Every structure is written in C-alpha cells, then in structure tokens.
Amino acid sequence: MSTQRLTRVNELLRREIGAILFQIMTEASFDLSAVTVTHVVTSPSLRHARVLVSIRDHQDEREKMLSMLRRHRREIQDRINRDLTLKYTPRLTFELDTSLERGDHILDVLAEIDETNADHDHEAEESQSV
C-alpha cells in the first residue's frame, strides 16, 4: 500500500474515532472534553491500528479513562466497519500520547527564559542610564 494512501487512511480513522467517541462514551466519570485522538498509526496490511490519545489534566484518572476506551474498543471497531469502506477493519489498540504535554512544557520553559532575558535587558538598560 502506498504511503500516501496509508496516511489518508490514518487521518480518516483519526477523525472517525473522534466522532464515534462522542457517540458512545456516555459514562459520567469519563471527561470527553479532555480526550483528543492525536494520531492513528495503521499497519500496512490494515489489520492493526495504534490509536494515540492525549488526555489533558486528569493525571490521576488517565489509566482509568484509557481503560474505559479499551473496553469500548470492540464497539468502536464495529462502528468503523459499519461507517467506512475499508478492505479490513483494523484491530484498535489505545495508547496514551504525552507529546502535547511535553510540547506545552517546552513552551513554558521558553516563555520563562524569555521573561528572564527581558528582565535582565531591562535591568541593564536602567543601570546604563544611571
């Protein structure tokens, strides 16, 4: 299968899984607003797909929320099979994606460095003008 087609399948599955989650994740303890399907990585055979999800905040409840997603795996696959026309419906595995948090942390550190540099520049200008 071509890389371009596999990329399109991954994106299609990512969007579809995100939409399906809104329909089936109705448990009160599951904060759907905190969950983002960030990537789907499908095998070239289309038989397996890793679904990477980011869960914002909820550090103490992440494993519980991931477990709930895994419990609904079969229902999500059935919906994909019903709604999409693919050669095979991939077997989904859900994994936690922390790349967004790492990116946010790096941006916070860079902002802190910028603030520190701005403070030093301001102090240097004041000492030169005196």
Quick one: tokens of 13?
């599955």
55-90 pLDDT per residue, tens: 888 778 888 889 999 999 999 999 999 998 888 889
What is the tally of helices (H) and strands (E) in the chain? Answer: 4, 3
Residue-number span of the structural domain to which 21 is assigned: 3-97
Q: Are residues 82 and 130 in the same domain?
A: no
Q: Are residues 49 and 73 in the same domain?
A: yes
Q: Are residues 111 and 55 in the same domain?
A: no
3-state class (DSSP) for residue 45 = coil
Q: Are residues 71 and 121 in the same domain?
A: no
Q: How large a percentage of the chain has pLDDT more than 90?
A: 45
Quick one: tokens of 59?
């550090």
Supply φ then ψ for residue 43, to 5 degrees. Answer: -70, 155
Amino acid identity of residue 11, one-letter, is E
pTM, whole model, 2 decimals? Answer: 0.75
Q: How many domains does the chain have?
A: 2
DSSP assigned state of 3? H
